[in-house]
Amino acid sequence: MTKYSGKYINCPTCDAEMPLTGDEKTGEEVYCPYCQTPLKLKRNKDTDEPYLEEDF
């Protein structure tokens, strides 16, 4: 099991919870399954927690 497997992060556009599988890489482009917004996975430099940022 990987570090973020089973965690959820919120879409910054529609606030829907998106599950993490643990295979995601920083900088990877993902799409919200609800609003289809393109998002980029980022990590907080201080806490290493993942978050999503719109990638238009």
Domain residue ranges of the chain, discontinuous segments joined by +: 8-54
Class for the domain spanning 8-54: mainly beta
pLDDT of amino acid 5: 65
Q: Which of 43, 36, 46 is nearest to 7 (CA)?
A: 43
| pLDDT, position 29 | 93
Report the pLDDT value the prediction gives residue 1, as an integer from 0 to 100: 42
Closest to 43 measured CA to CA, from 14, 13, 7: 7
pLDDT in tens, the chain (56 residues): 456 667 899 999 999 999 888 888 899 999 999 999 999 999 999 998 889 999 87
Q: What is the DSSP letter of 26?
A: T
Cβ 31 vs Cβ 54: under 8 Å: no
Residue type, 44: N
